[in-house]
Structure 1
Amino acid sequence: MQFLVGGGLNYEKSPLELRERVAFRGEELGRALPLLRQELGLEEAVLLSTCNRVEYVGITQDANRCRAGWARFLESYHGYPANWDAYSQFRQGRACIDHLFELVSGLRSMVIGETEIFGQVKAAYEAAHRMEMTGVWLNRLFQTSFSAAKAARSRTFITRGNVSVSSVAVELAERLFGNLAGRSVMVLGAGEASEKTLRALEGRGVSLLLVANRTYDRACELMKELHGEAIHWSEFLDRSVSVDIVISSTSAPHYILTRERLLPLLERRKGDPLFLIDLAVPRDIDPSVHSLDGVYLYNIDDLQLIARQNLEDRAAEIVRCRRLLEPYIERFAQWADQRQKRSHGSDVMRDFRTA
């Protein structure tokens, strides 16, 4: 018998300090996915790692082995022991399908209706597909979920308002200062989250916008379309002396801003407050810097308060979205039923019909 399974860590049950310990960068999937499949006993597998979650979806003949193997996988790959079962979730059948469809549609995000998750799930699926880790079941499941999410987004107001992680970061900056007119902002990193942050800053009256990236050419390329200045990575600490806000979103595996690096900088700032917004997982900024005089640090979990305040208009759309998703789920169920009959006993959907 085959079972559709899924689970892992997300912001609802696991704290940021644990999620960042087991985050996977894109280039790590080539090693992580085969190990995931081996430890969990999966025939097909997709691994998703974002700032708010580290989750998998798979097909297995042994759901119990899969559930028990998740902690072994995390400890084996990252070498970090913890009571992972206490912080993890496990889903099977209908619960797994509902979760994926709502996740892709933005209903399971920390910021309801945010659009980044669609691209992140799609990239995770495509990476697994290229590695031949997906087959007939997951290919159909993910492709159907993408169609359902597009329909839900286009026919409801679930995406209304600025509630993406990048936009919420900019909104937080505005709340700190009243507005950003005449303020100076530095963005560390030039990836997708940084680009969205920069675009969210457009039209906010920022007087100086700096971008620092380890690959200087990438920073220059990004700033061709935006009004700002690309600087070399080696310059960012010196240039931080004169900025009001630093928003960091790099893929560094370690802290790039520590107490030791900030102390000389703060002396040169002569008491001017420095606001730091850390969007990275693993975190870019040592959380202990928050105790330094004149330093105000916010991380991705701190954005939840603003996110919740922006959800009132979107909350009413959740029921409508779920109604729009239901026909796509049923369509997948009908396809699965027909395939089960042809394969004589495959039980991927057993818990789906009885849920």
Structure 2
Amino acid sequence: MTRKLYYENPYLTSFDTRLIKQGQDENGDWYAVLEKTAFYPEGGGQPYDTGELNDSTVTKVEEVGGEIRHYLRSSVLTEDGYVEGKIDWERRFDHMQQHTGQHILSAAFDNLFGFKTVAFHLGREESTIDLDTDTLNTNHIEEAEKLANQIVLENRRIETKWVTKEEAEKLPLRKALSVEENIRLVVIPDYDYNGCGGTHPSSTCEAGMIKILGIQKEKKKYRVCFVAGNRSFRQFSKKNDILARLTPLLNAPQDEMETALHKLLETKNALEKKLEEANDRLIDFEASQMRTNRGLTDIPVTGVFENRPIQELQKLARAIVGEGDGIKAILLSKNGDKLQFVCAKGRNTSGNMKEAVAVALPLINGKGGGNETFAQGGGEALIRPEELLKELLAKI
């Protein structure tokens, strides 16, 4: 079996070792198996390490059938069977910070409120823990975050140890073990005892600041999103930059931005309401003009437009037929490579708009529906709008 240097020294960034074998898997991807390795394979919620073996880039590391495979972009070139490995330390240390932050935060929720962590995901930008509770409020969040960061500031040592099942059963483990042999514990004395196969720093201070970004209800549990260490710094810098750019736009200092934004939204909503009312009046006027232009004939009122939303077509059609019997309307709009149309009729007027739409839809590979008095549809602009109008007029 490969000697796991990442357990002996998680700070190791380079090493020399002997190449045991290399080959291609069933997908044709190259991989190498080493006598010893500092590359951590994916597992326990922690992603794999990346880096280099000689001049070959390590893109992924997995444990397959008891062997640790280092997947490569190309085969490893070696003359004497020995290779030099270099891991991406920035990626590794980030994973160590997030994973340790998770241990500290999960223990905080457990120790304070008895909320057990049932899942952990270490993401590229943010990480999450799922808590087995149907209640999680602001007080829980603030108290857990406060305790977690207090543990970080206290610079407590982090111990890793291999124990037997009997030895583990004597300790106050935060959760049940998933294995019965080769048990590895990560321990923050007098705070957290947990079975874990991941890499961790030697003290809690290296996890850096732990910040909860938000929570989300997930059935009978809550998902807590957080960052730790350098990610917390980047989050703070990013949000501070955003606030700095918003200050002149809102003409308000940061502590008054919420009030300024509420006022801006109120103004926007009021203007949108006035604009909608004005647009409705214009549609009513347009409908009146179209009825007048129709005269006293039985020909339906028609209109062909470009880039007009289906919602406006519907409003216009209802305004045209809404004031009397004997009026029908067919309105179409070409929106890019799409055709949309509405068919409507007034009270006590012959014809079936739903049947008319059903006849037209195959011509444009479209979909639609409605009822006898009002129906609409849309599809691909396979024919000109005028041709589709002709077909609808023939049916109606």
Task: Please tell me the TM-score bracket, short chain as reference.
Answer: under 0.3
Q: Which has the higher strand share?
A: 2
Query: TM-score of the superposition, structure 2-length normalised?
Result: 0.21
Kindly indicate which of the two structures has a greater share of residues assigned to helix.
Answer: 1
TM-score by length of 1: 0.23
Larger Rg: 2
